[in-house]
Structure 1
Amino acid sequence: MKITHIHIERFRGFQNEDFEVGSQLTAIAGQNGTQKSTLLGIVTQTFTLKPEDPMRAEKPLCGGSYISAFKDKFRLSPIFDRPKGHEWTISFDIGVDDFTVESIKRTGDPNVRFWKKGARQEGDGYISFPTIFLSLKRLVPMAEEAKIITDDTLLTPEELSEFKQLHNKILIVQTPISSATTITSKNKQSIGVSTELYDWNQN
């Protein structure tokens, strides 16, 4: 299942906009304030993981979970973000019909929630699919973090072996990796590698 097309009927500055999605990679570029993060939030807000989904208990290497939190994507305005003021449709290549999401009234703060249009039953509001939403906090250098926690035991031997292969294949390097250390801070979780030439502090 792949996303092929995004139609935003209305969402803040977006009005009747269409976006085609690449089969392997989609690059979104623009100046600050042009709603790049909003677009990513719209896409990931369409998905969640149901309690019975086995991926719900899994953890990505970047930390967190495969469910993207609403608070990490949107800060809603109590004045301008109103029920029925948002609607978008995501299209897929196979397996799922076009899926339309709209904002509906919610009791509490925030006063709106995003839900599948026309559906009101529990469990019908989203598509069950793992997602990761990486905010700009991931760009904070480790040297600027006040406190970090390291762990060399997160990956199993099998996972470490696969990580080493993928790391060198993607980065086109041949230096053998001696260890991979999980580095956790307030803003992010990452993995640093150590070799005979450098360690994770120099990554």
Structure 2
Amino acid sequence: MKITHIHIERFRGFQNEDFEVGSQLTAIAGQNGTQKSTLLGIVTQTFTLKPEDPMRAEKPLCGGSYISAFKDKFRLSPIFDRPKGHEWTISFDIGVDDFTVESIKRTGDPNVRFWKKGARQEGDGYISFPTIFLSLKRLVPMAEEAKIITDDTLLTPEELSEFKQLHNKILIVTRWRN
């Protein structure tokens, strides 16, 4: 099972947006404040592991667990994040129907929670699948460093050519979906 497409009907700054997911690799890049982490949070929020799942006790090589804490992904506002104010759909290649998530009222809490649209039974809210949410802080610890030491080492022409070829092969999107 692989994610092939993400449609965000509404979620903060996203309104009716579609994202294709690469068959091998998808890179999400942009300046600060462009909602890269929000997009990753939307994807990973769709998944969890049930208590009886044997993967629940396993640890990925990067540390942490296959269940990321909600607070690692989102800081919700009771003013701006309202019930029915968020909705997204994740599509898969095989084995799982499209899965639509919406924000609903959380009992006894001013913040919303995210749950499968139209489902309210225990165990219906998420797809049971191990997922890792790697924020920039966990993925690249130097992003949190106050001072980064660099040097002026240049790539050789051969290294630069290889870098460009790999960049184009791995990261260049060959088709866009609007």
Inter-partner Cα distance in structure 1 for 2:93 and 2:172? 32
Inter-partner Cα distance in structure 2 for 1:122 and 1:163? 49
CA contact (8 A) 2:25 2:170 kept: no
Structure 2-normalised TM-score? 0.77
Aligned-residue offset at 1:136: 2.5
CA contact (8 A) 2:90 2:99 kept: yes
Aligned-residue offset at 1:102: 0.1
Q: Give the structure with the higher percent strand.
A: 1
Partner SS state of residue 150, structure 2:
strand
CA contact (8 A) 2:83 2:105 kept: yes
Aligned-residue offset at 1:142: 8.0
Inter-partner Cα distance in structure 2 for 1:62 and 1:150? 25
Q: RMSD over aligned Cα, in angstroms?
A: 9.3
Partner SS state of residue 159, structure 1:
helix
- Structure 2 vs 1, CA of residues 151 and 121 (structure 1 numbering), >3 Å: closer, same or farther? farther
The structure whose RCO (Cα within 8 Å, separation 6+) is larger is 2
Structure 1-normalised TM-score? 0.68
Aligned-residue offset at 1:22: 0.4
Aligned-residue offset at 1:52: 1.6
Aligned residues: 176
Residues 43-82 of structure 1: pairs in structure 2 closer than 5 A: 43-82=43-82
What CA deviation, in whole Å up to 9, does each residue of 1:14-41 have, x standing for no partner?
Answer: 0000000001100111111010000000
- Structure 2 vs 1, CA of residues 2 and 155 (structure 1 numbering), >3 Å: closer, same or farther? farther
CA contact (8 A) 2:49 2:67 kept: yes
Structure with higher Rg: it is 1
CA contact (8 A) 1:9 1:16 kept: yes
- Structure 2 vs 1, CA of residues 34 and 154 (structure 1 numbering), >3 Å: closer, same or farther? closer
Percent identical among aligned pairs is 99
Aligned-residue offset at 1:137: 2.1
- Structure 2 vs 1, CA of residues 31 and 161 (structure 1 numbering), >3 Å: closer, same or farther? closer
- Structure 2 vs 1, CA of residues 20 and 163 (structure 1 numbering), >3 Å: closer, same or farther? closer
Inter-partner Cα distance in structure 1 for 2:38 and 2:127? 19
What CA deviation, in whole Å up to 9, does each residue of 1:121-145 have, x standing for no partner?
Answer: 1001000000001123226658999
Aligned-residue offset at 1:155: 35
Aligned-residue offset at 1:62: 1.5
CA contact (8 A) 2:137 2:144 kept: no
Structure 1 unaligned residues grouped into runs of 5+:
174-199
Structure 2 unaligned residues grouped into runs of 5+:
none
